C-alpha cells in the first residue's frame, strides 16, 4: 500500500462493511476525496474509497491507483469528488453510501 489504509468506523458502504479510507501524507489537508470505485471486470459501481491527507485531485488519484498491485486501478477508477470535512460528515450521516457519490442528487 502506498499509504495507511483503514475504514471509517460506524459507517456502512455498498459492500456492507465500513467505508474504506486511504490516509495520505498531508494530515492537515481539509479536503477528502471520495472515489466511486467500479468493478474492474464489469465496470459497475463497487464501493467507495475515501482519500484523506491529499492536497489535490492529482495526488488523491495517484494514491488511489498505487494501491492496486494487480495494475487494474485504472479500470476501477470512477469519479473522484472532493469535499470538505463537514460535507463528508454530512454525506456519511445523510447520504446514500451504497450508490455512486457523483450521481447523488
For residue range 65-85, what is the model confidence (pLDDT) as tens digits?
Answer: 999 999 999 999 999 999 999
Q: What is the DSSP letter of 18?
A: P
The verdict on residue 23 lying in a domain is yes
The verdict on residue 101 lying in a domain is no
Statement: residue 99 has pLDDT above 90: yes
CA distances to 34, 77, 104 from 26, rounded to whole Å, are 16, 22, 28
Statement: residue 35 has pLDDT above 80: yes
**Structural domains counted in the chain:** 1
29 within 8 A of 55, measured Cβ to Cβ: yes
Q: Containing domain of residue 74, as a range?
A: 4-8+17-88
For the residues 25-33, what does the mean pLDDT come to? 96
The verdict on residue 96 lying in a domain is no
The verdict on residue 95 lying in a domain is no
12-16, 36-40, 100-104: which range is least confident on average? Answer: 100-104
Query: What is the predicted pLDDT for the residue at 1?
Result: 67
The verdict on residue 79 lying in a domain is yes
CA distances to 11, 19, 68 from 30, rounded to whole Å, are 20, 19, 25
Q: In what order do the strands lie in the sheet with 80-84?
A: 4-8, 19-23, 45-52, 31-38, 80-84
Amino acid at each position: 500500500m502506498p499509504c495507511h489504509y483503514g475504514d471509517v468506523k460506524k459507517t456502512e458502504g455498498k459492500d456492507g462493511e465500513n467505508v474504506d479510507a486511504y490516509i495520505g501524507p498531508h494530515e492537515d489537508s481539509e479536503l477528502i476525496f471520495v472515489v466511486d470505485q467500479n468493478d474492474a471486470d464489469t465496470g459497475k459501481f463497487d464501493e467507495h474509497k475515501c482519500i484523506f491527507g491529499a492536497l489535490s485531485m492529482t495526488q488523491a488519484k495517484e494514491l488511489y491507483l498505487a494501491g492496486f498491485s494487480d495494475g487494474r486501478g485504472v479500470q476501477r477508477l470512477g469519479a473522484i469528488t472532493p469535499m470538505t470535512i463537514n460535507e463528508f460528515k454530512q454525506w456519511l450521516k445523510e447520504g446514500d453510501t451504497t450508490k455512486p457519490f457523483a450521481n447523488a442528487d
